[in-house]
Amino acid sequence: MQNITNIKFQNIGNIPESVKDFLNFELNDYNFSVFSPENVKQKIKSKSEFFNAEKRNLLFEVLKNQHSDSQLSENQKFNIDSILLENTFTVTTGHQLNLFSGPVFSIYKIIQTIKLAEFLKTNFPENHFVPVFWMASEDHDFEEINHFKTKNHLYKIEGKSGGAVGKIKIEDEHFISDFENEFKNSAFGNELISMMKHAYKTGNTLSEATRILFQELFSDSGLLILDGDSQALKSEMKPIFREELLNQNLHRFSKNNVDFIKNKYGKVQVNPREINLFYLSETRNRIEKKGNQYKILDTETEFSESEILEALEKHPEKFSPNALLRPVYQEFILPNLVYVGGNAEILYWLELKDYFEKIGLGFPVLVPRNSMLFISEKSVLNIEKFGFEPADFLKNFDEFSKDFLLKNNKIKEILDQKENALKLQFSDLKNIAERTDKTFGNMVSAEEKRQLKSFERMKKRLLRAEKIKHREKLEQLKTLFHKIHPEEKWQERVLNFSVFYANFGKNWLKFCYEKMPAEKSELVVSGFGE
What span, in angstroms and rounded, lies between the C-alpha atoms of 198 and 184? Answer: 16
pLDDT in tens, 21-75: 999 999 999 999 999 999 999 999 999 999 999 999 999 999 999 999 999 999 9
Residues 362 and 409 in one domain: no
Residue 244 lies in a domain: no
Residue 402 lies in a domain: yes
Q: Tell me if 498 sits within 8 A of 192, measured CB to CB.
A: yes
Using CA atoms of 255, 261, 267, 272 in order, give the dihedral in degrees to the nearest 10.
-30
pLDDT in tens, 178-229: 999 999 999 999 999 999 999 999 999 999 999 999 999 999 999 999 999 9
Residues 31 and 149 in one domain: yes
CA 12 to chain centre: 16
Residue 203 lies in a domain: yes
Three-class SS string for 71-126? CCCHHHHHHHHHCCCCCEEEEEEEECCCHHHCECHHHHHHHHHHHHHHHHHHHCCC
| pLDDT over threshold 80, residue 396 | no
Confidence (pLDDT) at 249: 95
Residues 514 and 407 in one domain: no
Question: Average pLDDT of the chain?
Answer: 92
What span, in angstroms and rounded, lies between the C-alpha atoms of 131 and 224? Answer: 6
Pairing verdict, β 88-95 and 128-135 = parallel
DSSP state of 399: H
Residue 301 lies in a domain: no
∠ at Cα 312 (311, 315), nearest 5°? 75
Q: Tell me if 261 sits within 8 A of 18, measured CB to CB.
A: yes
Query: CA distances (Å), 324 to each of 35, 166, 245, 251, 350, in order?
Result: 21, 19, 15, 10, 10
Residues 116 and 228 in one domain: yes
Residues 358 and 463 in one domain: no
Confidence (pLDDT) at 400: 75
Residue 252 lies in a domain: no
What span, in angstroms and rounded, lies between the C-alpha atoms of 366 and 356? Answer: 14
pLDDT in tens, 451-490: 778 777 876 776 677 677 777 878 888 888 888 899 889 9
Closest CA to 275 of 257, 256, 258, 295: 295
Residues 21 and 127 in one domain: yes
Domain range enclosing 80: 2-235+324-369+504-528
Query: CA distances (Å), 515 to each of 24, 261, 376, in order?
Result: 23, 33, 17
- The one-letter code for the residue type at 432 is I
Q: Tell me if 99 sits within 8 A of 145, measured CB to CB.
A: yes
Residues 329 and 357 in one domain: yes
Residues 335 and 365 in one domain: yes
Q: Tell me if 96 sits within 8 A of 228, measured CB to CB.
A: no
Which of the residue ranges 71-85, 104-118, 314-328, 515-529 would you say has the lowest mean pLDDT? 515-529
Q: Tell me if 67 sits within 8 A of 225, measured CB to CB.
A: yes
Percent pLDDT > 90 in the chain is: 75
Closest CA to 99 of 186, 178, 181: 178
Edge-to-edge strand ranges of the sheet holding 371-376: 2-8, 522-528, 371-376
Q: Tell me if 391 sits within 8 A of 7, measured CB to CB.
A: yes
Residues 452 and 356 in one domain: no
Classify 328 as helix, strand or coil: helix
| pLDDT over threshold 90, residue 240 | yes
110 C-beta neighbours (distance < 10 Å), count: 27
H or E element in which residue 356 lies? helix 353-358
Residue 277 lies in a domain: no
| pLDDT over threshold 70, residue 123 | yes
Residue 37 lies in a domain: yes
What span, in angstroms and rounded, lies between the C-alpha atoms of 442 and 92? Answer: 59
Residue 267 lies in a domain: no
Could you tell me the pTM of the whole model? 0.89
**What mean pLDDT is predicted for residues 505-519?**
96
Percent pLDDT > 70 in the chain is: 95
Q: Which of 379-393, 417-431, 474-488, 492-506 has the highest mean pLDDT?
A: 492-506
What span, in angstroms and rounded, lies between the C-alpha atoms of 1 and 376? Answer: 9
Residues 18 and 117 in one domain: yes
**What mean pLDDT is predicted for residues 441-449?**
79
Residues 43 and 150 in one domain: yes
More confident residue, 434 or 493: 493
Residues 87 and 184 in one domain: yes
93 C-beta neighbours (distance < 10 Å), count: 26
What span, in angstroms and rounded, lies between the C-alpha atoms of 226 and 232? Answer: 13
What span, in angstroms and rounded, lies between the C-alpha atoms of 223 and 132? Answer: 6
Counted domains in the chain:
2
Which of the residue ranges 67-76, 156-165, 284-293 would you say has the lowest mean pLDDT? 156-165
